[in-house]
Structure 1
Amino acid sequence: MSSAASTSQSFFSRERSVAEHGFNRWLVPPAALAIHLCIGMAYGFSVFWLPLSRAVGVSEPKACPAEMSFFDSVVTTSCDWKISMLGWTFTLFFVFLGSSAAVFGHWLETAGPRKAGLAAAACWCGGLLISAAGVYLHQIWMLWLGSGVIGGIGLGLGYISPVSTLIKWFPDRRGMATGMAIMGFGGGAMIGAPLADKLMSYFATPTSVGVWQTFVAMAAIYFVFMVGGALGYRVPRDGWTPEGWTPPTAAANKMVTSRHVHLDVAWKTPQFWLLWAVLTLNVSAGIGVIGMASPMLQEVFGGHLIGLDIGFSDLSPDQKKKIAAIAAGFTGLLSLCNIGGRFFWATGSDKLGRKTTYAIFFVLGFFLYAAAPWAATQGNVILFVLFFCIILSMYGGGFATIPAYLADIFGTHHVGAIHGRLLTAWSTAGVLGPVLVNYIRDYQLDHGVARDAVYNQTMYILAGLLVLGLVCDLAVRPVAERLFMTDDQVAAEKKTTVAAVAREEAEAHADFEDFVEEGAVAEAAAAEARRVDARRNGGARALLILAWAAVGVPLAWGVSITLQKTFVLFH
């Protein structure tokens, strides 16, 4: 029994996930995508709100008595939940994503990405099963606990699990590597939302809206993909570098270090809090727009979206349905820009530098936010949409670029844990951005401002936030030399030394000495080694194609569905 437990423990340990010689580093990004595409469904959870708001009434919502207390509404089985109550699940997602990433970031660095990925799968999929039971029993607290709290912890673990690993595999392309993985989080809703819609339609009956069955089915599907992704993670050996690559010297780029800052030191530095502010301000501006994209387009342009010179308030119910369909296309287009921006901007940051990339976000974003009201007053829908497509690409790009920025400033040894702490900025922005957009809108409506002008003041305020972000970004400087860990400290944390690495290499090639005693034997051994490598490379290529197909095919399906909805905008 103890032997079996030891074997199991060693299999899930970080040491057992160290890549063997000749491992293809391009197998790691699809493993990361497999997890991020699953947990990214958090962005698409709103697809469940309307069906869940009539889980009891089925065809129509069954309203609760007005005098019912909040506690009674949480445990009642006789009437339906309000969408405002269901929306708390979304808030819990991102509160627990940021907090769990901060709490478990250091554990991830020692336990390794495999354990973290499996823990994320257990939390995210287990949370869906608890939510399914909550829907079946009509207990909304189980939905909050299952998906919001436990699922939110899974989001945090799954989100940060590949960051440190990918940065270490791609020191020459840090931005591109993290951009590929974090792109998956933005793309998860494009796959999950239409999949959930189809599953709910399949499971729906005259007495059920089909949500709890959909949760169970999606939990099973996601568990397979997430476990596959977690088991596909590998970490590079100590001292590994890509063939032919040499680290940049300090003189060549002072903003990229080859040293390491400890987590306990990093989060106390001015650089950490400046980058925290950079992420908070960039995300606050974008996330507020995401939450209000559909009503914003409808209220700003009203009947102009369907060729009528009337405002939103003067539209008939049928006309409002038509412009709602157009606004859905706008939302889909923004999602594509959010996803594409994560890869485009993060990859571009490898050439431009992280500081310059963020400066572009803030300067360009300022002008676009400030110009959006002008585009609205001109009635130019295409220009208005273009502005926000670029804005949302930079919103996604900010998420994908920040891990590489952290690695540049603090080194790679603790970057996963540091990134976890920094994601509390996301939780903060998730409250700040929507509050700014929603409450300023409501305040102006209450004071008689026309619907087509209620977002103007908001755009100027968001532009101001970006100015503050630019100031913070420009203030970032290299970390003081005294704050870096010594080589001995790094070696002690890795529990290895140069001598230990040498011993590991010697053990891996223990038989080599036996083959070099005679030239003919050595030549024969080399030929056999080449044949073995050829067979291995053939299998590795097949595995690489399968791995990318496993994530590429669902992503392509989600993109095609989104594009179909987007075409309505330009119809």
Structure 2
Amino acid sequence: MASFLDRENTVAPPGYSRWLVPPAALAVHLSIGQIYGYSVFNKPLSHLLSGDLNAKTGAPGDWSLVQVGLIFSVALFFLGASSALFGKWVERVGPRRTMFTSAILFCLGFVVAALGVQTHQLWIVILGNGVLGGIGLGLGYISPVSTLIKWFPDRPGLATGMAIMGFGGGALIGSPLGTSLMTAYGGANFGIVPTFLTMAVVYFVLMMFGAFLVRVPADNWKPDGWTPAVQSGNAMISSHGVTVDQAVRTPQFWLLFAVLFLNVTAGIGVLGQASVMIQEMFSDSVLGAGKGVTAAAAAGFVGLLSIFNMAGRFFWSSTSDRLGRKPTYMIFFALGTVLYFLVPVFGRTPSLPLFVAGFCVILSMYGGGFATIPAYLRDMFGTINVGAIHGRLLLAWSAAAIVGPLLVNGFRDSQIKAGVPAAQAYSTTMDIMAVLLIVGFVANLLVRPVAERFWASPEQLKNAAPAGAHD
């Protein structure tokens, strides 16, 4: 098994099609993207002792929704932390060993969490789905990035978009799978224990398919007829490698850190509050008795946002191959600013179709930001350590996952306490999000090619390259 996982044994043989690598990455990302659908377990987990999902609150001793929500938050924190911590290791050992390790940790997390549910110990559930699962998320998320960029130097945005699209769409599989399994098993604990164990097996098989299929390109491989863009005068695409340790010392890294943080902060806060927001902004008191948005319709809105989140990852990242990464992010921030300023207007009009359309575009750019950033890093720092650099940058996601929901929920609650009607309580929040995007626009505008003093020497490039690789 050890030799099968070694990087040198994953080098593609002659005739291997590079188009087999995106499905391998997609298999892993569709699996770990289940975390976006974890909310289907929140209510059952908060009623384990009462045994009644129709009860407004759980029985004494039941976990609150706030406590259960820690599972998701911890998982996202460890996603970013493990990506940053193990980025160098991922580059060294290659995608197959990383995907295998990700599968072990992510699926073991379900097994441990099942034990926590069975014994009603929240800390065990958090240890399982939050800590172990979160580390598996981080390794699985960054495992194919460097490999895909090396296979598709001519279309890096398209390649990473195809894979990272799977993470955004993971909930479209994970949510109905979890719900169906709980319904089928039923019984004690709402069937969560056997559901977790079944999902561990299903996702392990799917992720191992990706690990078995993935390959790295041979030394000095490049697509037929491809000429590096830098040779045609594109100064924003570097032909020089930068090591991860040098990259974090450049202003470009921290500008891109700000770019990702601000784009994600603006999107993730809304994504987490979308159902409540649309119901409050378009309630019966606003549209008229019986015309307000129902909980079922709000759930459909959330599903629609998930689809645009997923589709945007492919559309915008592949579009960036033609427009360039910097212009693509300028569109994200400029168009996003306008839409956030208009959202309160759509609520006051009121115009539900424009509100829905506006947020669909916003969430497409939120997803597009995730899928475009690896190619942006490749343009700035070369391919030698791009996976490790991407891992470090994902700490911006961890920070945004905390700041975004706090901004949306905090300002909403303060507005309501001040006597502002619920339908109007989001106006200040949307204005703040627009201002954040303006700051992001400026940060992106300041990005310039990396200065020569940060370029890696031939000796540094040799030491930074994985064993058997000389990209």
User: What is the TM-score normalised by the length of structure 2?
Assistant: 0.96
Give, in whole Å, the separation in 2 of the partners of 1:494 and 1:451. Answer: 55
Structure 1, 46-55 or 442-451: larger mean CA deviation: 46-55
Q: 1:24-423 counterparts in 2 under 5 A? A: 24-59=17-52, 63=58, 65=60, 79-205=61-187, 207-250=188-231, 252-303=233-284, 308-309=287-288, 323-423=294-394
1:10 and 2:15 aligned? no
Alpha-carbon distance, 1:86 to partner: 0.7
Residues 263, 440 of structure 2: 8 Å contact kept: yes
CA contact (8 A) 2:49 2:59 kept: no
Assess if the C-alpha contact under 8 Å between 1:250 and 1:257 holds in 2. Answer: no
Aligned pair partner of 2:436 in 460, 465, 468: 465
C-alpha distance 339-63 of structure 1, shift in aligned 2 (>3 A)? closer
Cα shift at 1:492: 4.2
- Measured after TM superposition, the shift of residue 208 of structure 1 is 3.7
- Deviations for 1:198-252, whole angstroms, at most 9, x for unmatched residues? 10000002x4410011000000000001111112111111210001111123561
1:484 corresponds, among 451, 455, 461, to 455
Aligned residues: 469
User: Do 1:52 and 1:81's aligned partners in 2 also have CA atoms closer than 8 Å?
Assistant: yes
Deviations 1:504-544 (A, max 9, x none): xxxxxxxxxxxxxxxxxxxxxxxxxxxxxxxxxxxxxxxxx
1:45/1:193 contact within 8 Å kept:
yes
Kindly indicate whether the alpha-carbon contact (under 8 Å) linking 2:101 and 2:136 is maintained by their aligned counterparts in 1. yes
Q: Tell me: CA distance 1:497–1:436, structure 2 relative to 1, closer, same or farther (3 Å).
A: closer
Aligned-partner residue type, residue 238 of structure 1: D
Q: Give RMSD over aligned pairs.
A: 1.8
Whether the 8 Å CA contact 2:155–2:318 is kept in 1: the answer is: yes
CA contact (8 A) 2:165 2:371 kept: yes
Q: Distance in 2 between matches of 1:59 and 1:367?
A: 45
Shift of 1:409: 0.2
- What secondary structure does 1:249 align onto? helix
Distance in 2, Cα, partners of 1:324 & 1:287: 20
The letter of the residue matching 2:341 is A
From 11, 14, 21, the counterpart of 1:21: 14
Matches within 5 A, 1:439-454: 439-454=410-425
Task: Give CA deviations for 1:110-166 in whole Å, capped at 9, x if unaligned.
Answer: 010111100100000000000011111111111000010010000000000000000
Q: Give, in angstroms, the shift of residue 497 of structure 1.
A: 9.5
Deviations 1:360-410 (A, max 9, x none): 000000000001111111111001111100000000000000000000000
Q: In structure 2, how many angstroms separate the alpha carbons of the residues matched to 1:114 and 1:393?
A: 30
Amino acid at match of 1:82: S
Per-residue CA shift, 1:463-499, capped at 9, x if unaligned?
A: 000000000000000001121113343234437899x
**Cα pair 2:149 2:156 within 8 Å, conserved:** yes
1:497 and 1:448, CA in 2 relative to 1: closer, same or farther beyond 3 A?
A: closer
Letter in 1 for 2:169: G
* Contact 2:49–2:58 under 8 Å retained in 1: no
Matched-pair contact (CA < 8 Å) for 2:92–2:467: no
Unaligned runs of 5+ in 1: 1-7, 66-78, 502-571
1:515-526 equivalences in 2 (<5 Å)? none
> Structure 1 103/139 Cα, relative in aligned 2: closer, same or farther at 3 Å?
same
Listed one character per residue, the Cα deviations across residues 385-436 of structure 1 (whole Å, up to 9, x for unaligned) are 1110000000000000000000000000100000000000000100111111
How far apart, CA to CA, are the structure 2 residues paired with 1:492 and 1:395?
36
Distance apart, 1:101 and its partner CA: 0.2
Cα deviation for residue 51 of structure 1 reads 1.3
- The 10-residue stretch of structure 1 (230-239 or 153-162) with the greater mean CA deviation from structure 2: 230-239
TM-score, length of structure 1 as denominator length: 0.80
Structure with larger Rg: 1
Contact map agreement 2:117 2:189 (CA 8 A) in 1: no
2 CA distance for matches of 1:271 and 1:31?
A: 31
Alpha-carbon shift at residue 63 of structure 1 (Å): 4.5
Partner of 1:456: 427
| 8 A Cα contact 1:491 1:497, kept in partner | no
| CA displacement, residues 260-285 of structure 1 (integer Å, 9 cap, x when unaligned) | 00111001110000000000000000
Question: Which AA in structure 1 matches 2:16?
Answer: F
**Separation in 1, partners of 2:88, 2:438:** 33
The answer (yes or no) to whether the contact 1:131–1:142 under 8 Å persists in 2 is: yes
User: Structure 2 stretches of 5 or more lacking a match?
Assistant: none
